Amino acid sequence: MIYRKIGEELVSAVGFGTGFHSPKEGDYDLLEKTIRSAMATGVNFIDTAPVYGDGISEIMLGKIFKEINRSNVFLASKVSPEDTTFSGVIKSVESSLRRLNTDWLDLCQIHWPSTKVSIEETMSAMEKLVEDGKIRNIGVSNFSLNEAKGALSSLNNNSLASIQSEYNFFERSVEGDVLPFCKQNNVKLIAYSPLAQGNLANGDEQKGFLGRLAEKYNSTPGQIVLRWLISNPNVIVIPNTSKPHRAIENGLSADIHILEEDYEKMSTDIKTPVSLIDTKEIKVTNDYGRKVYQTLQEALDNNMNMSPTPIELSEQMKSGVFLKPIRLKELKDDTSVKKYDLVEGRLRYWSWIIAHGWEKPIPALVWKNK
């Protein structure tokens, strides 16, 4: 296993994410077995959040920590944007500690930036928690570069330890700004969805290339992807899985030795260009396991209480902030006005339209063969 430093602690470059959509209490035995399998390979970083299963993920981990030496685990959790007031941060973390059956978090991250609470107030609470010994390191998640800079400058007695963001062979937006910022400021990038929800790469040609490399290095294509990501010394990956054998594969990816020429070829050849797509050609449905606003009026009303709201995010977009491209897949019906299906980024899609109307094309990544 490769280890990186977050604060004063050594953290495995391959971690374990628990971002399941709806973990259930009955999954406890399988989760414990999977985490133990990961730890057997040297994994010590486990990432969770209060919103995963509405607290169930943390509760399940808390039961597991009764059987596992807590000091052997680097445990990270988060604070939701609606809890980012000073008192809200304190209460959120204390609730997480109770559910997790622990006295401290090794890393506490603001899950999403808030448009209603100043980052100075939020970071003041985080520093108070460090002072009280309830958290040891401060991080952020899903922050743009400017938002990360604001978080860093708001800290008085602590440094920003990490930025958690999606990073995989399909979504490589962080390479343009966030990763250089991490390198300059000794901040670790924690990559969620490193295997792109099991898709690994975009299209048969890219997947075929990964398959040939996997054969060359006697590994799996997923291991090749993870090893490429952690070849950057500022990157830690947190794949999630419910399969013990997959957790072992993920952990062992750090032990693969890949030639520099193959790293470079992956870096240049496995990319998906950002396209500018007519917003009127995009179909919005509640497929893909998540509810979504299907009309502009629904987005304006925000009855699902999304945070940030579509209107709040649109204001950021008007000022030039755009976290990352939406993702689409092409529809096969050539007679339809709708040429693309919206796979991910629904909030960003509606916020873009609120900000710019229907005529300005939206930045998007288009899946092949999905």
Closest CA to 172 of 250, 253, 228: 228
DSSP β-ladder status, 160-166 and 138-141: parallel
In angstroms and rounded to an integer, the radius of gyration of the C-alpha atoms of the chain is 20
Q: Bridge-partner residues for 366, per DSSP? A: 328
Distance of CA 196 to the CA centre of its chain: 11
By the 10 Å C-beta count (0-12 exposed, 13-18 middle, 19+ buried), 239 is classed as buried
Paired tokens of 69: 């030496």
Q: Bridge-partner residues for 5, per DSSP? A: 10
Paired tokens of 66: 């009764």
Told to judge if 192 belongs to the known catalytic residues of this protein, a careful annotator would answer no
Interacting residues of 271 by C-beta distance below 8 A, sequence separation 6+: 169, 172
For residue 174, the one-letter residue type is V
CA distance 127 to 159: 10
Q: Bridge-partner residues for 141, per DSSP? A: 164
Catalytic residue of the set 3, 28, 52, 340: 52
For residue 173, the one-letter residue type is S
Residues designated as active site: 52
